[in-house]
Chains A and B, each alone.
Chain A
Amino acid sequence: MTAVDQLHSELDHPLDPNGMSYRGLAGVPLSLEPLNRKDFASDQEVRWCPGCGDYAVLAAFQGFMPELGIKRENTVIVSGIGCASRFPYYVDTYGMHSIHGRATAIATGVATAREDLAVFVITGDGDALSIGGNHLIHVLRRNVNLTILLFNNRIYGLTKGQYSPTSEIGKITKSTPMGSLDNPFNPVSLALGAEATFVARTIDSDRKHLTGVLKAAAAHRGSSLVEIYQNCPIFNDGAFDAIKDPATSADAIIPLNHGQPIRFGVDGHLGVVREPQTGAFSVVEVADVGESALVVHDAHLADPSFAFGLSRLTDAGVLHRAPIGIFRDAEAPTYDDEARNQVALAASLGNDDQALQTVINGGDTWTVR
């Protein structure tokens, strides 16, 4: 064990001045030298459309990676197919631009094989929720230790503008000239339905919030799903204007901060309450109920129902209001840790060539002379 590894194993949170615990990165060796943003930029020219929200996410990612303090070569980024999935080409770590929908499955193999790797998945609403929906719910239920950045622009960009599984009903696109018919997924609700242990939502244009959420996601041990509202200026421009426009954002963003009452709006006139009978959450005027009636956010509950209820405050149609922040951050065993534990436990029975020879010989042998 190197001195750095020693440090890593002894300290809960060796890096973050705010006292954040980086359990999610336990086992990943630390860099001996400080890294900076440039170390995480590859030599490839970034080729997204001008004004695309992906640029902001890439910049935030390259900005916060050095703060994690881990070795660059122990970082792996796996993506699927879609505009956002070009992301790995632009970050100078190990990376794989894989197949439509399958990044989470491939990343499961990477993360399970190697504890010493920090694994990130880059995906989009079509990639993760349509063609890759099955793999997404299964990686979440298994709680594989990796961080998923789900770029949600509510449209298919790379195939030039068809509606996506997060597009609002009635969406007029090339493939739905009379309006889309299917009810959209709420990615946060879906993830919580699969009992994901870390689920958050953030916005491409809010660098500070985005960075904070990504760090918390990387710090979490287990599957972390971060839905990033990301604007597509070409095919779905303005989809998130209500929460991005300073004129409307105060009443549109329901901020989730652990341990604090959920209160927002201009002068904090709005708040969230919970119906005692149904458990459903709703937005009310604080003046009507009094501050003491407001729900206090608890991201660490073992039961995902509370976080799921909060996720239902998101508009399913055109977005006017949505909770933003960390819905859930709960501890649970991870698939990859447990799988490695089984291998290690079994290995204690003896795993040399002689042991294998004994297995292959089997019980019933006979000798021909």
Chain B
Amino acid sequence: MKQVSTLDRVVIRFAGDSGDGMQLTGDRFTSDSAAFGNDISTLPNFPAEIRAPAGTLPGVSSFQLHFANYDIMTPGDRPDVLVAMNPAALKANIDDLPRGGVIIADSADFTKRNLAKVGYDSDPLSDGSLDNYQVHALDLTGMTVEAVKEFGLTRKDATRAKNMFALGLLSWLYHRPTEGTLNFLTTKFASKPNIRDANITAFKAGYAFGETTEVFAVTYEVAPAPMPSGKYRQISGNLALAYGLITASKKAGLPLFLGAYPITPASDVLHELSKHKRFGVTTFQAEDEIAGIGAALGASFAGHLGVTTTSGPGAVLKSETIGLAVAIELPLIICDIQRAGPSTGMPTKTEQADLLQVMFGRNGEAPVPVLAAQSPADCFPTALEAVQIAIKYRTPVVILSDGYIANGAEPWLVPDLSDIPAIDPQLASGTNATDKAGQPIFMPYLRDPQTLARPWAIPGTAGLEHRIGGIEKARDTGAVSYDPANHEEMVRTRQAKINGIVQDIPDLIVDDPADADGQHAQVIVLGWGSTYGAIVAAARRVRKSGRQIAYTHLRHLNPFPANLGDILRSYQRVIVPEMNMGQLALLLRAKYLVDVRSYSRVRGLPISLSELARDLEAEIDQLEGSNP
């Protein structure tokens, strides 16, 4: 009987060649951990190239998983365990592994040739260079090939099951349930019985190897995390976004029309929505980004819920059509799943540098509401709210997500759809004014006094025929107008309409518990989007150190919540961590004249919580030092 050690949290990073199935392996371990009841957070990290040359550093694909017995906020800065399927995977990831960390390496891949490919002169598994780590050099490939030989696969196919062997071993080491993965393999390879049986056998062999080998003296348990009761599933941001959009479309009774062009990391939303045509979803894979949003806007005009999905380089191309949607005042949802830029940048790496683009990247005064999701599961309510705003205010709305939350996963308390209120699209059905002769007429730009929204009259509605377009409209009638006073009124009215959305935005809540003396923090850390996890985790760490810090997080970037200015002014120091050069900081300084401090990281990776915590502590100490 081996010793069992209990841990609160573990971070495992699976790393290998792009073709080694590391994303699948990580995904399965995540599912099994989630099903076990741990809280989870994941960070897939893969090259943009589909198959970079085998065994090279650019070809390394990794998947990091953080699982714990409490509510964790990030996928973890540094892994406790590194599974390295080849020398490139070891070399690319070893710097992230703290000393004393566990390395499980497939020794079969550490050949002279593979070592030379990544610049190792000698084998790090045996030359002593890894003496500060716990190294388990195992012939994963050899053991896998041996285990599956009865299925008569080619060596190549047999070798491919080594990721399942590794998964089996790790599942044993961390006491994971195995039914989920066994069921998954049975379904996934149902049409290829040999491959199915080989993968299942490799998985079981890995598990059995752990039980019988003397290599591992200790196994680990991570107890389930306490979570609110209910039914959970694991969900990624792109999946949650797709589900949110479908749900919103059903709640509004408007068929969903997606016009999209494939782009990393947004394509999965297109893929997912394409599977759900049964719910009235039309997906149009357009010839380019412009046609994608154009068709979506055309569908909105026709009375559908028009949606387009893209990433930064595509959002640029959509700017002109977003401007048209502002002018013709129709609902439209633009999802920008941000990635590292400028230009092509790093398509599979994350960043938050499109904020100013979506705020201002249009000609003329063209205000657009902007919402940002803070975590994978949060994409669902964000999509719902974006649709509510778009329909109520007859406006395009931007949803900002990013590569990190798009591909990352976390447990999600699945909502009961019957709890979600209906959205009334209030389509115009009759005339809304009378002409000088007292005849009833339809004025397409006569606004609702409460929301300043114009009527949405869809083709097929008799008596409401009207023309809209990008040329400036006369108030009320919507006729073409070049009148100076009218233009000024329309520009200000469009702005006032967007500003007025604040009436539907709840006040921002600050987390700032008083200390024993009833004192509150002097420093507040404020973020938006996917930095949420790192910020909350860093704030917790700062508090553990005995310091006080407040934090809050913005979903509504345009308009801002009504109480944001008061919050900013009530702290001595405001720190805004962002994965850009300080874009929200710029907006806050401009609007509120508060000396916010930008904390900027642009590495294509989520902000490191330990680095952030350290820097926040330094800020607090410095401020207290200067305030005796």
Contact = CB atoms under 8 A, between A and B. Distances in A.
Contact of B467 (A95, A105, A110): A95
A342 B36 CA distance: 39
Given A112-B295, A339-B282, A361-B233, A73 B287 contact: no
A138 B287 contact: yes
B464 A73 contact: yes
Interface string A56-90: 00000000000000011111101101000000110
B342 interface: no
Interface in A102-138: 102, 105-114, 116-117, 134-135, 138
Contacts of B463: 73
Interface in B405-436: 414-418
B278 A102 contact: no
Contact of A113 (B228, B250, B282, B286): B282
A346 interface: yes
B460 A360 contact: no
Contacts of B286: 105, 108, 138
A109 B230 contact: no
B462 A113 contact: no
A191 B208 CA distance: 65
Nearest to B278: A346
A109 B417 contact: no
B468 A355 contact: no
Nearest to A137: B287
Interface in B276-325: 276-282, 284, 286-288, 290-291, 294-304, 306, 320-321, 324
B303 A114 contact: yes
B467 A89 contact: yes
B168 to A, nearest CB: 19
B227 interface: yes
A138 B259 CA distance: 14
Given A98-B470, A365-B233, A116 B460 contact: yes
B220 interface: no
A351 B280 contact: yes
Interface in A329-369: 339-340, 342-343, 345-351, 353, 355-357, 359-362, 364-369
A109 B257 contact: yes
Interface size class of B (residues with CB under 8 A): 35 or more
Given A78-B298, A134-B287, A368 B228 contact: yes
A74 B257 contact: no
A245 to B, nearest CB: 36
Contacts of A134: 287-288, 291
A37 interface: no
B299 A113 contact: yes
Contacts of A343: 255, 277-278, 280-282
B459 A114 contact: yes
Interface residues of A, number: 62
A69 B180 CA distance: 61
A366 to B, nearest CB: 5
B217 interface: no
Given A135-B294, A355-B278, A72 B465 contact: yes
B466 interface: yes
Contacts of B277: 342-343, 345-347
B554 interface: no
A359 B276 contact: yes
A99 B321 contact: yes
B243 interface: yes
Given A350-B278, A367-B230, A339 B284 contact: yes
Given A73-B461, A109-B259, A355-B278, A135 B470 contact: no
A116 B282 CA distance: 16
Interface in B240-297: 243, 246-247, 250, 255, 257, 259, 276-282, 284, 286-288, 290-291, 294-297
Contacts of A111: 298
A359 to B, nearest CB: 7
Given A94-B459, A96-B468, A114 B302 contact: yes
A97 B417 contact: no
- Of B291, B298, B302, most buried by chain A (CB within 10 Å of CB) is B298
Contacts of B301: 76, 94, 96, 106, 109-110
Contacts of B247: 356, 360
Nearest to B287: A138
A87 B362 CA distance: 26
A111 B268 CA distance: 26
Contacts of B35: 364, 366
24 contacts: A44-B480, A73-B459, A73-B464, A76-B302, A97-B468, A98-B294, A105-B295, A106-B298, A108-B284, A109-B295, A109-B298, A135-B287, A135-B294, A343-B255, A343-B277, A343-B278, A347-B279, A348-B278, A351-B280, A359-B243, A360-B243, A360-B417, A364-B234, A366-B34
Given A105-B298, A356-B279, A367-B232, 16 more contacts: A73-B462, A92-B465, A95-B466, A97-B468, A98-B469, A99-B321, A106-B294, A113-B255, A135-B290, A346-B277, A348-B278, A351-B278, A356-B247, A357-B416, A368-B224, A368-B227
Interface of A: 42, 44, 71-76, 78-79, 81, 88-89, 92-99, 102, 105-114, 116-117, 134-135, 138, 339-340, 342-343, 345-351, 353, 355-357, 359-362, 364-369
Interface of B: 31, 34-37, 180, 224, 227-235, 243, 246-247, 250, 255, 257, 259, 276-282, 284, 286-288, 290-291, 294-304, 306, 320-321, 324, 328, 414-418, 459-471, 479-480
Closest 3 CB pairs of A and B: A109-B298, A97-B469, A109-B295
